[in-house]
């Protein structure tokens, strides 16, 4: 194993992710159905036993070099601060909707008043959510560190801009009284689904960059195996498995310097 080091990050499927995507999804979802928990645990136990056997049988100083990375924590600490102002604006809109709900329940608003005002606020929330992603896209595209992902990011950006136009159209409709609430809710739901798909794509791009940087750190550090902490590492011996999250974080932060 020493002759040809293999640095790999076990990340599962790169699908909608963040223990918050930008808006609260999880960064790396479980690889299999959670209902198969017993099977997952048995498989993990076998893998751990195999690793322990390889380490234990190796001569001193010649065993596997193992490390892990906290990908979800890195997303929170590095990517989310890049859109903090936009996320705060989104949170304020969500608070406005909660306040409308409170006023309605307290009898301060009629049902008609509540429906009309809540509809406008829901559109504004969607617009604020999209602005989070647009800002993140602008920064990622502008960063030299994302040059290898630029064409994919620009394709996502084009989708986001098209969706933004649709949001604007819906917003103009709710500036006056909504005559057909059923049609409005149908249009709103379609835009929400489109936005979720967009958020998924952007989260995948961020996750892929975390994986790429972790792989580079693993290779350069001479590690044979780099694990993902969440859903993979249950227990580790600090003397045998190293946390390389800090080094990965430094490199990820460098991607956004000056942006």
Structure tokens at 232: 């993979």
pLDDT at 256: 96
Structure tokens at 85: 């102002």
Please choose, from the candidates 110, 129, 175, the residue with its C-alpha nearest in 3D space to the C-alpha of residue 24.
129
DSSP state of 242: E
Please give the Cα distance from 43 to 64 (Å, whole number): 20
Residue 75: is it exposed, middle or buried by C-beta count within 10 angstroms (0-12/13-18/19+)?
buried
Instruction: Look up tokens 């946390």; give the residue.
Output: 243
Given a contact cutoff of 8 angstroms between Cβ atoms, the answer to whether 9 and 67 are in contact is no
Please choose, from the candidates 93, 92, 161, the residue with its C-alpha nearest in 3D space to the C-alpha of residue 133.
161
Alpha helices for 7-57 (secondary structure H): 37-57
Given a contact cutoff of 8 angstroms between Cβ atoms, the answer to whether 191 and 167 are in contact is yes
pLDDT at 17: 35
Q: 150-174 vs 111-142: helix axis angle to the nearest 10?
A: 160
CA 244, distance to chain mean position in Å, is 20
Specify the 3-state DSSP secondary structure of 243: strand
pLDDT at 50: 58
Q: 181-220 vs 245-254: helix axis angle to the nearest 10?
A: 120
pLDDT tens for the chain, residues 1 to 259: 333 333 333 332 222 233 345 665 566 654 444 445 455 545 655 655 555 455 444 434 557 899 999 999 999 999 999 999 999 999 999 999 999 999 999 999 999 999 999 999 999 999 999 999 999 999 999 999 999 999 999 999 999 999 999 999 999 888 877 778 888 889 999 999 999 999 999 999 999 999 999 999 999 999 999 999 988 888 888 888 999 999 999 999 999 998 8
Predicted model pTM:
0.77
User: Any idea of the CA torsion for 83, 84, 89, 91, to the nearest 10 degrees?
Assistant: 110
């Amino acid at each position: 194993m020493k002759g040809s080091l293999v640095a790999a990050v076990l990340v599962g499927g790169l699908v909608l992710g963040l223990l918050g995507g930008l808006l609260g999804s999880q960064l790396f979802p479980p690889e299999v159905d959670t209902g198969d928990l017993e099977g997952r645990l048995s498989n993990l136990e076998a893998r751990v036993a195999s690793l322990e056997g390889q380490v234990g049988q190796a001569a001193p100083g010649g065993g596997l070099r193992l490390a892990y990375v906290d990908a979800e924590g890195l997303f929170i600490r590095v990517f989310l601060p890049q859109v903090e102002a936009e996320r705060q604006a989104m949170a304020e809109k969500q608070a406005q909707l909660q306040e409308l709900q409170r006023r309605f329940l307290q009898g301060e608003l009629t049902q008609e008043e509540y429906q009309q005002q809540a509809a406008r606020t829901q559109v504004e929330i969607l617009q604020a959510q999209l602005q989070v992603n647009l800002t993140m896209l602008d920064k990622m595209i502008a960063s030299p560190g994302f040059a290898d992902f630029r064409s994919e990011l620009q394709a996502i950006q084009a989708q986001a801009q098209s969706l933004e136009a649709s949001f604007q159209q819906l917003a103009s409709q709710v500036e006056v009284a909504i005559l057909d609430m059923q049609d409005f809710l149908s249009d709103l739901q379609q835009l929400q689904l489109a936005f979720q798909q967009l958020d998924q794509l952007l989260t995948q791009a961020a996750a892929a960059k975390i994986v790429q940087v972790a792989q580079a750190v693993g290779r350069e550090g001479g590690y044979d195996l780099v694990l993902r902490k969440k859903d993979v590492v249950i227990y580790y011996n600090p003397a045998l498995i190293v946390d390389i999250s800090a080094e990965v974080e430094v490199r990820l932060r460098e991607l956004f310097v000056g942006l």
